[in-house]
Amino acid sequence: MLHIEDLQVKLGDKEILKHIDLEINPGETHILFGPNGSGKTSLLMTIMGYPQYKVTGGKIFFKGEDITHMPVNERAKMGIGMSYQRPPTIHGVRTRQMVEICAKNKVDPEALAAELNCSEFLERDINAGFSGGEIKRSELLQLTAQDSDLLLFDEPESGVDLENIVLIGNTISHLLQRDFKIDPEKTQKERLKERTKMGLIITHTGFILDYLTADKGQVLYNGVLVCASNPREIFRTISKVGYEECIRCAI
């Protein structure tokens, strides 16, 4: 379980997250909404442990452990993984290597890349000249290889063409154990109970909601979590009136 308690975060001198409380139970997936610059990426980066996001108050617990000051790689080892909005280019490090690093050599990069339509750039330097859609697929490829328990997705479907959106939507749904399939051994209800993966997905377009069910929606506005409710409900409101309604809640 991820448990965030009264989290306050500064980036440089700027307060970007204010008194955040958030709880994601095993098997739950949450959707995170919020206007540009509201602090969504910052929240994910803070959960991942990026040191430039300075925690000035509050705590983060994961699987019962206080991870507020734990280094990034230890969080990764505990089972936190992230798909980035804007990952860096690393010259001389190939996408294939990244997959091997993520999977600790436990998967076959080629087969996985074929599944995720990443074969063409497996031998390319990671993120070097990747198109927007390629970045999303490569991030998903790495996350799939990593097999984390808490998956943080920063706008996984932004800028992705229609064909690939199906692929990405279904893959995320699968990673979060939300794909529907008839299992002769187990009822859907039983399968649901066995879900352990946790997800936190940032979306502007809401497209992702067409491919997976989500338990909760959260709205981040100006560094404050102002709303937690049914994700479709929230998305409809935002689609109709924008974030104006959130301002009313924020006040």
Partner 1 sequence: MRNLDEKALTAKEKKAKLGPDVDISSYGSETVSHDYVENLVSLSESDKARMILAGVDAHEKERSGTFIQKDTAVIHSRSKQEGLEVMSIKEALEKYDWLEEYYWNLVSVETDKYTSLAQLDLQNGYFIRSLPGSKVTNPVQSCLYLAKENLSQNVHNIIIAEEDSELHIITGCATSEHLQRALHVGISEFYVKKNAKLSFTMIHNWSEQVMVRPRSVGRVEEGGLFLNNYICMKPVKSLQMYPTTHLVGKGAVSRFYSLLVGSPGGEIDVGGRVLLEAEETRAEIVSRAITNGGKIIARGDLIGEIPGIKAHLECRGLILNGGNIHAIPELQGNIDGVEMSHEAAVGKIAQEEILYLMSRGLSEDEATSTIVRGFLSVDIPGLPPGLKAEIDRAVEQSDKEVM
Ligand X SMILES: Nc1ncnc2c1ncn2[C@@H]1O[C@H](COP(=O)(O)OP(=O)(O)OP(=O)(O)O)[C@@H](O)[C@H]1O
Q: Which residues are near partner 1 by CB under 8 A?
A: 48-51, 71-73, 75-77, 81-82, 84, 87-88, 90-93, 97-98, 101-102, 104, 125, 142, 146
By beta-carbon proximity to partner 1, the closer residue of 1 and 103 is 103
> CA 152, 155, 156 angle in degrees (round to 5)?
80
The sheet that has 150-154: what strands, in order across it? 80-83, 150-154, 198-202, 29-33, 216-221, 224-229
By beta-carbon proximity to Mg ion, the closer residue of 112 and 200 is 200
Place of tokens 């990764």: 76
Binding mask 10-49 for ligand X (x = CB under 6 A): -xx-x-x-----------------x-xxxxxxx-------
By beta-carbon proximity to Mg ion, the closer residue of 109 and 231 is 231
* Partner touching 47 among ligand X, Mg ion, partner 1, none, CB below 5 to 8 Å by kind: none
Tally Cβ neighbours within 10 Å of residue 25.
Answer: 14
**Residue among 197, 112, 209, 194 nearest 156 (CA):** 209
Residues that bind Mg ion (CB under 5 A): 41, 85
By beta-carbon proximity to Mg ion, the closer residue of 85 and 138 is 85
Q: How many residues does the chain have?
A: 251
242 lies in the binding site for ligand X (CB under 6 A) = no
